[in-house]
Amino acid sequence: MSAEGGAAGYRIQFAEGGPEFACMPGDTMLRAALRSGVSLPYECASGGCGACRVQLKSGEVEDLWPQAPGLPTRSRDRGYRLACQVRPHSDCTIAVRLPAATEPSVRPRRQRAKLLSRETLTADMAQFSFAADAAEFLPGQFALLSLPGVTGDRAYSMCNLANKDGEWRFTIKQMVNGAGGKVLFDNMNVGDEIVLDGPYGLSYLRASSPRNIVCIAGGSGLSPVLSILAGAVRSGHAERKLTLFFGGRRPADLCADHLIARDELLDARLTRHYAISDLENSEGWDGERGFIHEVARRHIEAGGDPAGNDYYFCGPPPMTDAVQRMLLELKVPVNQIFYDRFV
């Protein structure tokens, strides 16, 4: 392939041999691999985690975010790059250890999506609904949104299920001074268009597992967990117990109940535990208090069989790190643990 790419794209090969794939000009190395069905390792697809690190042996790439926190300068100097943050400008050869697990069946694609509605949930959270040509994804996956005037795509997890109407729904928290949040919450109007790329993500519902399901969410970590629970309640296994632990800082942050009430099947089957962590602002709250992983631990230990459940959890890194540590201490096998860190 020529250095200009072309209709067939640039050829990306592995130094150790194995599958090669084409990367169309403008695409990132990671997304091109996943679109071709090649399983490069990754987690966030947003430059934050470092899981997609590859060593560039030959070829030219454009670095979309040289300061991305997922890659220390020392690794960059040794020729490493983040596959989710590089755009090839020639054929390339890379060295990387390929994961044993295979990709989910739905391959990601880019499409235009129109804002259908924005529903306020709390002081800093809202539900956004977008219409695209197709909405194919697994419960728990996420999409990368390219927002007008914002450098770099933003990852948001779907809170609904795949559907024929092409609807992608997200529960989103507005971060202080966040560029993407500003566009979504303040600048966009119903009918405005964005580019949506997805689905991505490996912490999707393992629907055929017969084990009980425990979901733990902090803040906007509720989004993928709503999708996972909605998928689980429709995937047979009527005897399977479904439990949600949802934590916020203040009582007003706990917006899960009225969203769950919209899904009759889930509402009837789901056991819920809500907790607040800001004890100074707990007026009128007679529920549980403390960090959500501490509350979850009490209940999981009281249940007597921590390893009898599959665990799905999402939220900010301090929360997901704490839950991960807790589950390892409780001797839950790693193949029953699925999570997204909202880096």
Is 92 one of the binding residues for ligand FES (CB under 6 A)? no
180 touches, from ligand FAD, ligand FES, none (C-beta below 5 to 8 Å by class): ligand FAD
173 touches, from ligand FES, ligand FAD, none (C-beta below 5 to 8 Å by class): ligand FAD
C-beta of 87 vs 297, nearer to ligand FES: 87
Considering only 49, 54, 229, 314, the residue that binds ligand FES (CB under 6 A) is 49
C-beta of 9 vs 47, nearer to ligand FES: 47
| Shortest reach from residue 84's CB to ligand FES, in Å | 3
Per-residue DSSP letter, 135: B
CA end-to-end distance (rounded Å), the chain: 36
Q: Which residues bind ligand FAD (CB under 6 A)?
A: 44, 46-48, 64-65, 142, 151-152, 154-157, 170-173, 175, 178-181, 201, 220, 223, 340, 342-343
266 touches, from ligand FAD, ligand FES, none (C-beta below 5 to 8 Å by class): none
Distance CA 293, CA 189 (A): 37
Distance CA 37, CA 141 (A): 16
Residues 115/130, Cβ–Cβ less than 8 Å = yes
Considering only 9, 70, 104, 231, the residue that binds ligand FES (CB under 6 A) is 70
Considering only 10, 14, 21, 42, the residue that binds ligand FES (CB under 6 A) is 42
Structure-token pair, residue 7: 């209709």
CA dihedral angle for residue 286, residue 287, residue 289, residue 295, rounded to 10 degrees: 160
SS (H, E, C) 255-308: CHHHHHCCCHHHHHHEEEEEEECCHHHCCCCCCEECCHHHHHHHHHHHHCCHHH
Binding residues (CB under 6 A) for ligand FES: these are 42-45, 47-52, 70, 82, 84
